[in-house]
Structure 1
Amino acid sequence: MNNTLKEKVTVRVMYYRKPQIAGRTVVKEGDVLNLTCGIESFPPALIVWKTLTSNINPYNGTNNDLYNDTGSATLVIQNVAAEHSGQYVCAAKHLDTVLTVNVSVTVTYKRKLQITGDTTVEEENVLNMTCSIESFPPALIVWKKISSNTNLHSGTYLYNDTGSATLTIPNVTAQHSGQYICTAKHLNTTVTSYVSVTVTYSRQPLINGNTTVKEGDVLNLTCSVDSIPPALIVWKDPISNTNLHIGTYTDLCNDTGSATLVIQNVTAEHSGQYICSAKHLDTTLISYINVTVTYKRRPLITGNTTLNEGDVLNLTCSVESIPSALIGWKKVSDNTNLQSGIHTNLHNDTGSATLFIPNVTAKDSGQYICAAKHLDTIVTVNVRVTVTWLSNIQNGSGCVLQSQVLTCVCIIEGFPLPTIQWLPLKNNTEYSVITAVSNDTVNSTVSLNVEKHGNITLECVSNNGNEEAKEKFTIHNNSKKYEQPLDLSKGYLKVIVAFLIGTLLTAVVCFLAKKYYRKKQKSSGNLHETLEMDRRQDDPQVYDGSLLEENQTLILNSGPKEVEYADTNLSL
């Protein structure tokens, strides 16, 4: 039989291959994760995505597109985050066989830079700041300072590729203050952050201004402190320890590191020590300053200016001043310094000098000058010293009797000018007195009629207010011999002539003598009057030459050296 039977038989060979995963396993945060797991097999395998940690199907929900029984499944996660990074498992179930493939998913990301550490440090302490950034993969951190714009790798602990770097500067100074930059390089992006570093410090307070001022001027002192942050400056009175910035005394600039102490029209009482207090953070710095107000008062002369001959002259000239003045004595007549020798005890630069002259004589009378040199000013005070004295009745005194007319002469010297009285004359009704004065000499002539008298005794009594001198002249009327000094006998004719002239011109001479005497007294002035002259060194009328030990000469006005007057008394 040639019959052929045909039958179609479908043969299916069951097989499977190794699962394959396609898609990017490294994605940026916020992008879409899209992974497809496929397996070539027969029959088609069931594909399931799982996470290695939770073993939960990640495609439950809207984040995946799974094609069951087709041999392929797609894992889709929208807007991935760092938490999606990790290990994923693609499981393929083929008949009774389960095949798995693991895949690592990396979500790259970076966070904001963070700088930790104290950005305000005290001078000489350690600056320690750490710059870090949370990222994957870790970023490269670099420190820079804006002023130098150079990397600060040296001197810092820099951890490359770890996402953190520490800036460490030991023993910082004020120069380390400024702005620093932390730069983080992550993949192909760079992130920067700025930080300001303040190094706090304070220097010793400095006081500027003139600490020596003249009385009446303005005291202006400024206290300043170089510091960060600026210090609070306060001026204080050391006696009361109270602030001086209340009122008109100061111009205080709070929290600026500077304060000015201003005192208008300073006086001697403002001299002394002042305190500048600078408060910087928790520290208070103190600086002291001494203020000197220079001044001078009017020179004072103490001591007795009127003495008797033989007494001791002791005059002290003193000036209250700051600094102490240089004192020197001069006499107007010779204009020479008196600080050398035994005449004075001069205390240079102490503000006091003593003029000492023992056993004074008439020659020591006159005007003396106390000159006080204070800084660039010279002050002078004049004082008149008067030495009173009275001599004995001088040679040339005596009596002459001729033609029953007795003429007696009394001569005496002294200062003040002495007066002369003739005793007794009250019993004589006819007599005349003529008084003549020349310099310090007084000459008194008395004439009387002795016709009716026997022995006559006249006494010349002289007085200058402090001392008295007297002498008696006795005339024997019945004797041809009478008292007369040798000098008087030689001048007998001169006395007679003088008597006759005096008798004839008595009225005229008396009038003129009294008038002249009064004018002289009025012009003499007060012998103890004190004059003061105050000139600066640039005054050509005064500062021409030398004074005291510095060869400065004062132009002095001297008064009259003698007094002349005439006095005629007539009694009938």
Structure 2
Amino acid sequence: MLMSVRMAPPLPLIFLLMIHGVSSAGWGVSYSPSHICALKNSSVIMNCTYTYPTGYQIMKVFWTKTKDNVEPPDLSKDPEYSQRLQYLGDKQQNCTIRLSHVTLKDSRKYYFRFITNKDKWIGYPGVTLTVTDLQVESPERVTEGDSVRLTCKSSCTLTDRATFIWYRNSQPLTERRDRNNELLLQSVRREDAGRYSCAVHGHNHISPAVQLNVTYVSVLINGSGEIVSGDSVTLICSSNSNPPAEISWFKGGTFVGSGRIFNISKISSDDSGEYKCRSINEHGEKYSDAVTLNIMYPPRSVYVSIIQSGQIWMGDSVTLICSSNSNPPAEISWFKGRTFVGSGRIFNISKISSDDSGEYKCRSINEHGEKYSDTVTLNVMYPPRNVSVLINGSGEIVSGDSVTLICSSDSNPPAEISWFKGGTFVGSGRIYSISKIGSDDSGEYKCRSRNKHGEKYSDAVTLNVMYLPRSVSVSISIIQSGQIWAGGSVTLICSSDSNPPALNFSWFKENESSAVGSGQSFSALQSGRFYCQAHNQHGSQRSDAVTVTGEAFINTLLHS
């Protein structure tokens, strides 16, 4: 049902009736729903539409929480609402709003107000908002084995269909034992004791917690603080019964002793676990809640696992995991050799390189002691690299010397080495030796390093073999000057093979000890047998003699 109130100055009665009859046509505000029950701290949508006569222009729209003032206050200007109120409508027909983080103080009626260029309107009866908290109803104490029903209550019926969620000690209950807004605990156990709260699915608000106590047989641990391996520990079972009950002790489900007091001398980590006592008489039996003996001890059983199967190649990602048994849990450190390289149970090497090869171990340490694992070896495989050739010895290489070439290569697994002179294969192995080297051995040498992951050649090195002159010979060149019989001469030229090239030449006439000339060429002006001798820093060698005679001279000229 809608009711409208227009604020205007007093007018004569007949004029007011005429105005009301005209202006009320087409005015209205509609809310859906008109009553909202919302959960504390949730967001509320108040759906709203409005109408006004054709030809009127909307000047201002707003929501208010009062209808008493001539000019009711705009909620969007109210500090209690301004940060939480969002107008979702428009200045035409939609006046919907969202109110966020509602509180119990927000429970009241709200009205939509709009102002046109000719008149004002406020929509009655407005929207009634009731904000509710959640409360858990529960018996304060129950006995183990009883059935108990917990109820999640609200002050009004929530407008949105609600699915209830239950918590025990702030942890959601995974077992769905709820029926609508009720939680039924059948044959309640000691584990069911705790602080219970409820919530509505999809909302953050949780009800205040209510404590549920379960009566049971209890165990007292004699002493306080940490229990360390080697300590003496006493457990005492408390039970009310008539007649007095017989007491039995269990670790897990295993019987370990009788009597009200159970003592463990020189306790060890093997004694860790849950202990409970059973109280039994002719009227029945009851078990205590389990108590946990948490024995502290230094690290033991420390070892490293490599998360990688098969060979480790350069560029792989390798993960090492340190396993350790200790209480309390230990801090883990990693070492490569004796060098600290990282912390934490997991040590990861991404894009592993050959520099990461080596022995790794982890150290497990807590306040009771420390222990190192055995070492594990990371053997990173990679193709040959840094391939080079070293010539054993320095200085000049002279014919007849012994020369050794050594191929250096870094690879894993070790590479096979091959030697090449130019493009010709000449040998294998890391060392290539040439004994009594000759000029034919001069040239460019390189080695090839190869394993299953790849191959690489070294840069070439040059062997430049020095040797004394050899293949020394004399050739004849005739130079004509005027007539054949007058002024003709024979020029002798000395040729040789040597390294470095011969620069000194001497000429001799056979059977004479003194040289008759020098230089690579010699002009023979008389008959006889002549030879030359070529010299470099490594020695000298002479040629065979050639005969120069008058007849030979003429023949030479005629055939030249």
TM-score by length of 1: 0.42
Max Rg structure:
1
TM-score by length of 2: 0.43
